[in-house]
Structure formats: C-alpha cells, structure tokens
Amino acid sequence: MTPNGYLIFDDETFLDSTVAKMNALRKSGQFCDVRLQVCGHELMAHRAVLACCSPYLFEIFNSDIETHGVSHIAFEDLNPEAVEVLLNYAYTAQLKAERELVKDVYSAAKRFKMERVKQICGDYLLSKVDSQNAISFRNFANSMNDGRLLAKVDAYIQDHLLDISEQEDFLKLPRLKLEVILEDNLTLPSNGKLYSKVLNWVQRSLWENGDQLERLMEEVQTLYYSPDHKLVDGGLVIDGHSEVFGGEDDHLQFVQKKPVRESTQRQLSCSSSGSLSPSNQAANVQKPTTRRDWKYIASEKTTNSNYLCLAVLDGVLSVIFLHGRNSPQTSPMATPCLMKSLSFEAQPEELEEHPLSPMHYARSGLGTAALNGRLIAAGGYNREECLRTVECYNPSEDCWTFMAPMRTPRARFQMAVLMGQLYVIGGSNGHSDELSSGEMYDPHTDEWVQVPELRTNRCNAGVCSLNNKLYVVGGSDPCGQKGLKNCDVFDPVAKTWSNCASLNIRRHQAAVCELDGFMYAIGGAESWNCLNTVERYNPDNNTWTLVAPMNVARRGAAVAKLTNPQNSLFADVCLYAGKLFVVGGFDGSHALRCVEVYDPARNDWRMLGSMISSRSNAGVAMLGETIYVVGGFDGNEFLSTVEVYNPKTDEWNDCTKTPSPLSE
C-alpha cells in the first residue's frame, strides 16, 4: 500500500535479525566501546545499547560523555554469569537464567536500575517460596531492601510458621527465650498484643538498661506480667523449679535475671588526645545512630503455655520462645522492683567482649598504613563510588576518627610511610582511566599536598618505601587488561621519578612490602590469572629475583611485616619476627580467608590460622605486635569491620575485652 504517495513496508524479520546480529557482534567483541570487568571476567558491549536498558549505566556514560575509545567499568560484587544474562536481555529482550542464578540476576538488575527485570526476578522467586527456603528468601529480600518482596514472604511465613519452624534455617536463627510469670487471675494477651509488649521490653532493655541483644539471648530471661498489664523484668527468685523451656529440644533451665547494669554505650568517635594532627580536635565526628527494624512477623501458640514467634529485633531476624506460668505462692501485686545484690561490689572485675569498632565507611581497594601507633585507612570503593575520606584508628581506645580527606577520590592503590609522611600514588577514581597523580600527607599540618605525577597512569600498583625512597611496582596498563613489569622510584628530596629494574613477571594487584632491606612483590595477576609467584628486589644491584612461591595463588591480598619485638611478653611473637604475613585476596573464584607467613631465612611459606571473614582488597597494618586487617570485599558485601591476629594463639579475633560495668 502507498497512501499519500509514501512507500510503507513493515519488515517483520528485520528487528529479530538485527538484534541477533548485534548480539553476535557483542559476543565477538566487534565494534564494542565499553568493557565491563566483573570479578575477573571481562564482558564487552556497546555503549548505546546498555544506555537504553540501564539508567545506572546511562548516568555513568552521560557523565563521561567526552571519553573516546573504550570505557572501563569494574564491578567487584556482581556475578559475571548474572551480568551476562542482563546483557543478553539488553540485546534480545529475552530473560533466561537458571533457577540458582536468579538471585544474582536480581542483584545485578538492582545495581543497573533495571526495574522491570528486578520485578520479574522477584515474582519468580516468590513463586518458588516454600517452607524450606522461606527464611533464606526473606534474608535475601531484606538484603535487597525490597519492601514488596519482604511483605509477600512475611505473609507466607505467617501462614506456614509451624512448618517453617522445623527447617534447618529456622533452627539456626538467634533465639530469645522468655519466661513470663503471671498472677493467678491473669492471662496473657492475644498473640499480636503479646509480642508488641515483648518488643517494647527488648527495646527498653537495650536502650535504657544498656543490655546487648546477644547478651539477652545467652540465657532465659524471667519477666513479670503485672496486674497493670505491663511486661517488666522479673525480680522473683524461682526456688526449686527446673523446667524445660519451649519444648523437648531446648533443655534449658530457668534462671533469675541479673541485676540491671548502667548503660555503657560506647562512643563511636573518641577524644583526640595524642592524635596524629591538630585538626583531629575538630574531626571528632560521631557516627550517626540508626534505628534498625523492629518488626513482628508471625506467631503461633504451640501449647496452652508456650508461644513461638518470628520477629526482627534491632535488624536481627530472631526467634522468640515464650513460656507463661503462674507465679509462686507469694507474688507482688504491683510491678516489682529489682533487688540489688549486696555482694556485687565485692565481685572481681569481669572482662566483657565487645566487637572492635568498625570504620565509618565500608571500603575495598583502600590504602592502609601504620603511623605513630595508629592505623590509617584511606579511600577505597564503597559500592558505586570511590572515596576521599581518611580514617584513623586508635587501638588503645578502640575508636576511629576522621583525618583530612585526600584531594582526589581513589581506590585500587596502596599507601606507604616515607620519612614520617604518608604517600598515595595512582589508583582509580571510578570514572576515568587510571590515575597518574599522587599525594603526600603531613601529620603536623593535617594536609594532603600533590606530589609529581607518574610518567604513566597506574592502577593496582604496589607501593613501598625502601631506603628513604618510594617505589611503585607493577600495576595495570591503561586498558586494564594485563599487568605491568614497570617499576618506578621517587626521590622525596629531589622530588623526581626515575626507572628501576623491571619485574620478571607482569603483575597487577600484587602485595608489596619491605623486609630487612629488600622489597617483595607477592602474587597478583598477570592478566586475570592469579599468581602464587614471589619476587624480591635487591636495591644494591637493582635486580629482581624469584623466591619460593606461596601455597595459594592470589591477587588483591594484603601484606604486613612483623619486625623484631622489643621485650615481647610472648615467645610465640618472637617466632614471627622478621617475617611477612600475606592476608586474604582473591583466587579467581572466591574471596579468601587464608593467611600465609614467609620466612626469608628458610625461603618458605606456611599456612596460619584463617581470618574470620573472607577479604579481598582489604587493608592491613602492624601496630606493635598485633596485625590489624580492615575492610575489603567478602564476595557479597563491602566491609567496614576490623579483626586482629594473635601470634600466641594463631587465631583471629574481631572483639576486644573491656572491664564490665558493675551495678551499684
């Protein structure tokens, strides 16, 4: 038909044919102008196609519109297979993923702001919810902050709580065990009102009495339901009663609740006495307190006196077992007051374990160093952005304070101390190519100043001080596809860069450290293949020599050295003097927990106790005789947490012990 003289022809095969051809071009890498680097895998695509499907990528491309050539975007926390599914969808409009991959596709779609895909994946997951997986699905929905998904999973749990309570996931949840004493003429309210009162009691215990949720769960808590319909701490002594709580499987005796302690909430930022710089007086920034979820989900009355509930307590998905029973023969007729323990003051001082204070920001690919007895953590990735912020950890007070921020946001770099000052060199700012810039921090002025730029842009390079000079070792080429052999040295007096001997093997994301006048380049990757090889640099003859390889190939590991301790209390610590510790990293498939130690006298590596958390691209520093590891990426989340290594026990710990407050 040619109405009005126009030729009109609808080619029904054109669109399908063109889409198929474009997808084939993508898979063969032809005409591609964007490279996605996802956990060691490289995926090529066309900028225009991705910009049409992903508002997130559109924003990135639009902010970098002047970029010529191939754009590079890195994702450390997405599944490459899931991203490939989204790319196929972008080119073919067909979403096809195996059941086990749907959660990862959902996560990637959330990152890319592909709401339609997110909804389709969510609906698919909801169709697969059953008694066996309901808890894990709820945990996933909560981690994705998807209110629609959470509401539907919670509705399913309400209808199937007893079946779900028999599953392994349910049995592993934290448990709060309560015994409620009742007057003879009183009965507990209906389930909804009852657990509203329970949640209020837990909140009061945490916020007013200074209790911790974990401590409340350590033993059965005795409560009293007063005639004025309040649920309060029970001060009644239970004599001669040794009942089983909540069913045959718990085998727990009821105990009297300990006297209430004064609130001992610790400050997230502490005073700056003895701090690194004058401005720390003003940088005493407190971490904002956030009220996490308190939510009743579902409950069942299992017998006449036993109740079962699933609830969210201060953000923790928890099981509440509640047993109601009549009071002893004599009971107060009003809300009881707790009796003081007359002998409590005579008790020896107890030590309580508290989690080590986390950084204010989660960070991966950060720079760390020890300076003046403090641990410095700078920059790094925090989800989509690179950071400028710098934090300082005081181990004696277990607190983090802010220092002056860097001039440039950067991640994938290393930091070194040279002549009492901090240096950061190269890295990536998350948007453009690798950086050639460097900065120096002066603790006396609390300022960062520019240092002369590298002659080439460098990311994922090792940085180390040796003989009053700064060395930059290896790194990624401008395209980010392979490691470099190049090594440069900076003279802080002349403020000039020069070449030194090249590595024997190309490496990026290598761990670099000085020990006994030598410099070591440990592991890393040649392209994306992880290395276990190690090289040692001798500044006297300007040569690199291969030494014994590690037991585990790894890139993105952290390294620290333990020097000869002065008057060490532990002989075990002396055994590690003059050795290198290599911590975590990525083996090409998983973030690692394992740790190795290198003995240069024996030229061998041996495995040590593994960390609590898997960590790639974490930071490490030696403070005194203790190794501190901070941040990194565990394969699912960017971390802000801290853990320490005890050479005496060959164990890692994420807690510190402090005297417990005594009730007066």
Q: What is the mean pLDDT of residues 545-562?
A: 94
User: Which residues are CB-neighbours of 42 under 8 A, at least 6 positions away?
Assistant: 35, 36, 481, 528
Question: Binning pLDDT at 50, 70 and 90, where does residue 281 land?
Answer: very low
Tens digits of per-residue pLDDT, 390-402? Answer: 999 999 999 999 9
pLDDT of residue 28: 81
Contact 533/523 with Cβ under 8 angstroms? yes
pLDDT of residue 184: 64
**Residue of 312, 393, 327 lying closest to 360 (CA atoms):** 393
- Cα separation, 118 vs 105, whole angstroms: 8
CA–CA distance from 259 to each of 230, 332, 339, 549 (Å)? 19, 18, 7, 57
Question: Binning pLDDT at 50, 70 and 90, where does residue 187 land?
Answer: confident
Tens digits of per-residue pLDDT, 587-609? Answer: 988 899 999 999 999 999 999 98
- Cα separation, 318 vs 172, whole angstroms: 9
- Cα separation, 152 vs 12, whole angstroms: 40
Percent of the chain past pLDDT 90, that is, above it, reads: 45
Mean pLDDT of the chain: 80
**Residue of 79, 75, 37, 41 lying closest to 56 (CA atoms):** 75
pLDDT of residue 481: 61
Tens digits of per-residue pLDDT, 133-174? Answer: 999 999 999 889 888 898 899 889 988 998 998 888 888 899
pLDDT of residue 17: 74
Tens digits of per-residue pLDDT, 104-137? Answer: 999 999 999 999 999 999 999 999 999 999 999 9
pLDDT of residue 135: 93
Question: Binning pLDDT at 50, 70 and 90, where does residue 659 land?
Answer: low
pLDDT > 90? residue 41: no
pLDDT of residue 77: 87
Tens digits of per-residue pLDDT, 306-326? Answer: 888 898 888 889 999 888 877
pLDDT of residue 190: 62
For helices 115-127 and 147-159, what crossing angle results, to 10°? Answer: 10
pLDDT of residue 473: 96
Question: Binning pLDDT at 50, 70 and 90, where does residue 272 land?
Answer: very low
pLDDT of residue 398: 92
pLDDT > 90? residue 229: no
Domains of the chain: 20-128 (3.30.710.10), 173-347 (no CATH), 367-659 (2.120.10.80)
pLDDT > 70? residue 31: yes
Q: Model-level pTM?
A: 0.53
Residue 628 half-sphere exposure toward CB, CA atoms < 13 A: 28
pLDDT > 50? residue 72: yes
pLDDT > 70? residue 465: yes
